[in-house]
Structure formats: C-alpha cells, structure tokens
Structure 1
C-alpha cells in the first residue's frame, strides 16, 4: 500500500505525461495514477495551496507551479541535460521518432529528458517515468556494465511478477542471454516487451571517466521501427558519441558568470550534438 508521500509523488510525476508545461484535467490525472477522481482532486487542492501546482481558472485543468519548476531546475545533472537536448533534437530530426534520455535510479530506468517528434502517432516514456530494467531498451543498456549477480539483484522483483509485453524476458537466464548479445552489438532493442505496439532502441552514454552515466533511446510504434532498427541504432551511436564529446569539453565562464561548454567538437568527425562533420 502506498504511503501519502508516495501518492503525492506519483501524482506530481503524472504531470510529465504529455511533455513539459502540459496541463491536465483531474479525470486524466486520476486515470494515470489509478486513483478515484475525488482523491486526486483533494490532493491537487492541497498542492495548489502549497504553490506546487496551479489551476487554470477557465479550463479548470492543472499544471505544475512555478515553485516546483524552480526547484526542479536545480535538480539532476545540469551539464548532462544541457548537452543532451540538442543531441536528442538532432536524433528526432534524423529518425522522425521520439528521443529520450534515461538514467538509473535504484533498480529503475528513469526518463529525465524527452524530445517530441512530429509524427501524429507517438510512443515512449514521459519525463519522470521510471521503468523496469529487464524489459526496456534503456534499462538493459544501463545494465551493460553490471555483472550477472548485480543484474539478478536489480531485476529480481520484476522478473518474479512480470506484467509486461509477451516478448519480455521470462526469467533471469533469458534476460542474461539477451543482455550478453546486446552488449556485443553495442545497443539494445525492446520490441513489444514493456508495451504492446512499442519498440525502443537504446545506446549507453559514458562520462569522461568512462563510466556509464545515461542512455539515449529512440521509441516509436513497432509498425514504423521494427524494420529500421539497424539504421536507428547507427543514429543513436552517433548521438551518444556526440553527447560524450560535449560532456568531455572543458567549461569556461560566460560573460554572465555562468558556465558553458566550448563549442569546438572534441571528437573529430562529430559535432557535440551528434552530427557528422
């Protein structure tokens, strides 16, 4: 059973569905979090009094409040998010599909950045959504540096109670076989695993010290992506390399006193946003 704090956290994370700055009706939020509309309405009123959400007086829909957005601006790895945004935008432009950046939080893959595509039919996680590691492209890519014992520990709970697509790994042996093959290829593919009709491709991103810090991911309807996996994986490898090059750049002070990344590419042949030169 969820605690009160967990229910509030789930409600705030639900605002990530639909993209940053989006508004939601009470009924939509209730559906997302799986709660009664009256319960969600009471929580929203309390959050509004605290300045964490705001209600539009005309539409009666809710959006995140400025107080929460200011707090969020200082959260996470600002350098990673700043460098990743143009990389994801370029990946969207080249593939036509949603691009995401995910990091590991405990035994989950957490989406921290999303760039939309122009396609009318789109798929993929929203910012703030956490997903199991065994049956998602981002999750398995985050496991690339984990030994088999750690993989078992991180995925044990989800493998014991699977509730995912028909193609998800059914046990640890199947997961390890899939993960070992994906390590050799350098990218992961999860098709019809976490959600029927969804295919995702993931490539790990490494920090300047060589440690695995994030995953870039392209997600879309299986009908569009399943025949383009090799092409998408190639685009994502270029995107990951571009992001790694941007993160390796020394930071210098700008005239305003903030820091910024040098515009000169550190890796020959790639710009910091993953485009070939």
Structure 2
C-alpha cells in the first residue's frame, strides 16, 4: 500500500492531475506518517481519513477531548514540510475539498468513494456541529452562575412538564458549558453526543438521564429539543435565547429565595410554560 500511494503521488505530480488533488493526498499522507509513523493500509483508509478530518479541523475547546485535536507538533511539522499553508484548524470548506480531491485519486477497499464512507460522513457532520457551536459562542448568553447555584436551580424545578424541561436544560447547560444558542438549536442526537464528551462524566450522565426523560415525556424525536409548553401540554415553538435566559434567571432566583425541597417522583403534570409562554 505504501509503495502504491507513493507511486500515485509521483505519477500525479508528473501527469495532468490537478495540483490541489495531489497536494490533498500529500497532506493526508504526511499527516498520517507524522501521527503514526507509517502510511495507512487500504483497510484503514476510511477510518484514518475520518480522523484526518476531525484532527485537522478541530480547534481546542473545553468540550473536546484532547485526542480529537491535531497535536501542535504535527501542525508545526506539516507547516515546515510545506504541507500546510497556515497554522491552526482547516476550514470546513477546505476539508471537504481535501476529501473530494482524495476521492478522485483513491477509493476504499470495497470500491466505494472514500468521502461517502460512514466514518468520513460522521466526522464531517460532527465538525459541522462544532463549528455551529463555536459560531454561536460569539453571541454567547448573558447568564452567569456558579455550579452550586445551577445545581440548586435544578433541584428546585417542580415535577411538571415545564419543570422537567427546565431541569434538563439547566443540567445540560451546566454540564457541557455550551452556548445557549447551540443547545436551543440542537436535536437529541447532538446533545447526547455533546454530553459524551464532557470532562465530568458523572455530571454528564445525570444530565443525559434528565434530557432523555424530557424527550420521552415531550414526545420530541426530531428538531430542536427545548420548546415552549402550551397550556394543554402540547409542544409549542422552540425556545429562544431570550426566553431561555429568562427561564434560567427565574430558576436561579427561585432557588435563592426558597429553601431546598425534595421533589415527588410522580408523573409530570401538564402545567403550561409561564410567564414566558409562547404558542
């Protein structure tokens, strides 16, 4: 495989293959050699290309494991070898072009395009979600509270549909430290995935249980998970950042003024969303 790839690069440089396609393959192979000390086997290509997308596109952040980031030494050596034009993460557009370029030169062991493999598609989707989260963080929320205050706010939520929603929302927000806009736009799969990447896994497991409990009671399977609750118990429009901020402040103030109380474990009632109810 190593000899075949070397010949592919060499022939591409001497033939009429577009220079961007050859550069994309050289960058991928250079990254792989720096990361693993060898070139990829044919059977590994889809998985390793997916890892290439994840690492070359991932910016360091509190919600990402260190293993998902491109090591600084690799980034520097790619730059010094002329296999990267600028430091830092590649844009999503650039990475999609890299995958398309490699697709035109190589194929997976089963003959399918590498860029259409499930591993690569999932890597691009995760990176796209991370970029949306990062974009939302530039317009971050205006609510600030200590972990203890947020825990008290969660404990003070009543056992109604609104209380179940608020309990889940505040728990997920406190556990992941993600921007409100990301939480408000995300579906259940994105939120569960984010909870799987937190630093305090015990806290995130608790938040995930509350999140799934809310999803079951609200019967929401697709689209934004956090919505307003109508007076009849049906789901209304997705919450806005303003209504989410108001809800968090209201819960924090209620927890501050009221002694901590235990909650019953009965089924949630259908109390409507108040005072920020929206149809």
Q: Which has the higher contact order (CA 8 A, sep 6+)?
A: 2
TM-score scaled by structure 1?
Answer: 0.23
Give 1 or 2: higher helix fraction.
2
Compare the two structures and name the one with the higher strand fraction: 1
**TM-score (norm: length of structure 2):** 0.23
